């Protein structure tokens, strides 16, 4: 990896007293498809707008190709944006919309004409050159917006939920078109979405944000299989998150104890007597009636839910907690009410440090549960 094309260093953004982006550090590599993923209001748009120059940075620096862009206006930055609501110029034809950036750069008329034609071909809008934006469908407008940005050969293209307004089918189609376009042109894409499936299928790397904080950055596989925080484990896909306590750290792995049983995982960096979270994906959980070495988490099968390609099983543990697991259709299922032992492959569970405050929550909850039990 070379010099990052965009570098955010300790970027903070405040609206009045309200910190919406908190000490964000992010390196975006040349040519990659990076997605900012997070729940609504976590600061994705704000981050993108700071890179584009529409929003000032309260603290910290942003570098584009090594240059601090603090003093550059949006029109002086070598990045272009595709807006969520397209933001086409309603008084201009498709052609004029696409040509806008080149006209501003005072490119020769003949060259503009040729490049606009190329762009229109690339986004497959041939024959619509003379239409007004109001006469186009959502997907077509989206293509115009993309062409209008790409014609400037930007170093970076910023896309703020560009597919948000499209229906599911068109969305899927545009996803793959965008991805191919990005690969072919080799332009760096910074893509904002709150749709995790979109993020997982399209991105080279995903930056998961929550409440203005970067929770984790990594490839889709890393984010999915090795979440580093409880938030990421919960937010991406489905996950069973269990509170646990480390009893033994040994060659064979980390032994943990939960309210309702014991388990073992492979991981490093944990100490004995530490409170931790265990995260296991439903598809990695297994159940059996037999004993499994190192595992004894017992529960009863509560229900099976058929969801197409797989079957989802809910198992109620002794403590009343429910865990979800999925198994292929073809697997034989235990009848509802069967007492089963739950286990997983030692390297398929993820173990996470708890933060101090979360620890307190946990203790409080346990006390509450115990109190409740006494009453009952």
Ligand X SMILES: Nc1ncnc2c1ncn2[C@@H]1O[C@H](COP(=O)(O)OP(=O)(O)OP(=O)(O)O)[C@@H](O)[C@H]1O
In this structure, what token pair is assigned to residue 372?
Answer: 């409740």
Q: Which does 350 bind (CB under 5 to 8 A by kind): Mg ion, ligand X, other proteins, none?
A: none
What minimum distance in Å lies between the beta carbon of 137 and other proteins?
13
Could you tell me if 270 and 353 are in contact, meaning their C-beta atoms sit under 8 angstroms apart? yes
Contacts of 349 (CB under 8 A, 6+ apart): 263, 265, 278, 279, 280, 284
Q: Which does 134 bind (CB under 5 to 8 A by kind): ligand X, Mg ion, other proteins, none?
A: other proteins
Contacts of 15 (CB under 8 A, 6+ apart): none
Q: Which residues, 303 to 332, sit near ligand X by CB under 6 A?
A: none
21, β-bridge pairs: 13
What's the gap between Cα 250 and its chain centre?
Answer: 34
Q: Print the binding letters for residues 10-49 with ligand X: x by CB under 6 A, - otherwise.
A: -----x----x-----------------x-xxxxxxx---
What minimum distance in Å lies between the beta carbon of 173 and ligand X?
22
Q: Which does 149 bind (CB under 5 to 8 A by kind): other proteins, ligand X, Mg ion, none?
A: other proteins
Q: Does 75 bind other proteins (CB under 8 A)?
A: yes
Q: Print the binding letters for residues 80-109 with other proteins: x by CB under 8 A, - otherwise.
A: xx-x-x-xxxxx--------xx--xx----
Could you tell me if 263 and 256 are in contact, meaning their C-beta atoms sit under 8 angstroms apart? yes
What minimum distance in Å lies between the beta carbon of 315 and other proteins?
49
What minimum distance in Å lies between the beta carbon of 11 and other proteins?
20
For Mg ion, give the closer residue by CB, 142 or 152.
142
In this structure, what token pair is assigned to residue 57?
Answer: 């940075």
Q: Does 63 bind other proteins (CB under 8 A)?
A: no
Round to whole Å and give the CA distance between 37 and 26: 13
For other proteins, give the closer residue by CB, 135 or 173.
135
Round to whole Å and give the CA distance between 244 and 271: 13
Of 78-86, 219-227, 301-309, 341-349, the segment contacting other proteins by CB under 8 A is: 78-86
249, β-bridge pairs: 254
- Block residue for tokens 């499994």: 292
Instruction: Please tell me what DSSP assigns to residue 282.
Output: G
Round to whole Å and give the CA distance between 83 and 163: 10
Residues that bind ligand X (CB under 6 A): 15, 20, 38, 40-46, 194
């Amino acid at each position: 990896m070379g010099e990052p094309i965009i570098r955010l260093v300790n970027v903070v953004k405040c609206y009045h007293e309200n910190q919406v982006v908190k000490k964000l550090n992010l390196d975006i590599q040349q040519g990659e498809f990076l997605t900012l993923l997070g729940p609504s209001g976590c600061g994705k748009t704000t981050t993108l707008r700071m890179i584009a120059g529409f929003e000032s940075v309260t603290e910290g620096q942003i570098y584009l190709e090594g240059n601090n862009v603090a003093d550059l206006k949006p029109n002086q930055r070598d990045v272009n944006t595709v807006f969520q609501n397209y933001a086409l110029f309603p008084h201009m034809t498709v052609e004029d919309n696409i040509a806008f950036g080149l006209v501003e750069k005072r490119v020769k008329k003949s060259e503009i004409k040729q490049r606009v034609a190329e762009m229109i071909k690339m986004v497959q809008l041939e024959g619509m050159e003379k239409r007004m934006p109001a006469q186009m469908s959502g997907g077509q407008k989206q293509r115009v917006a993309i062409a209008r940005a790409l014609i400037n050969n930007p170093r970076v293209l910023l896309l703020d939920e560009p597919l948000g307004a499209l229906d599911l089918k068109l969305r899927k189609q545009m996803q793959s078109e965008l991805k191919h376009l990005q690969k072919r042109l080799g332009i760096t894409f910074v893509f904002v979405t709150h749709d995790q499936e979109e993020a997982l299928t399209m991105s080279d790397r995903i930056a998961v944000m929550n409440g203005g904080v970067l929770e984790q950055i990594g490839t889709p596989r890393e984010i999915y299989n090795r979440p580093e925080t409880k938030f990421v484990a919960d937010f991406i896909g489905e996950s069973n998150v269990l509170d646990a306590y480390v009893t033994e750290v040994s060659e064979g792995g980390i032994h943990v104890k939960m309210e309702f049983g014991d388990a073992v995982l492979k991981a490093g960096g944990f100490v004995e007597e530490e409170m931790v979270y265990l995260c296991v994906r439903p598809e990695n959980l297994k159940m059996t009636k037999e004993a499994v070495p190192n595992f004894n988490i017992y529960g009863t099968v509560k229900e099976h839910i058929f969801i197409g390609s797989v079957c989802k099983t809910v198992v109620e543990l002794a403590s009343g907690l429910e865990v979800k697991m999925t198994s292929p259709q073809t697997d034989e299922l235990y009848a509802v009410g069967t007492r089963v032992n739950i286990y997983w492959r030692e390297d398929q569970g993820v173990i996470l440090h708890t933060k101090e405050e979360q620890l307190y929550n946990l203790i409080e909850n346990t006390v509450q549960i115990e109190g409740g039990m006494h009453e009952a």
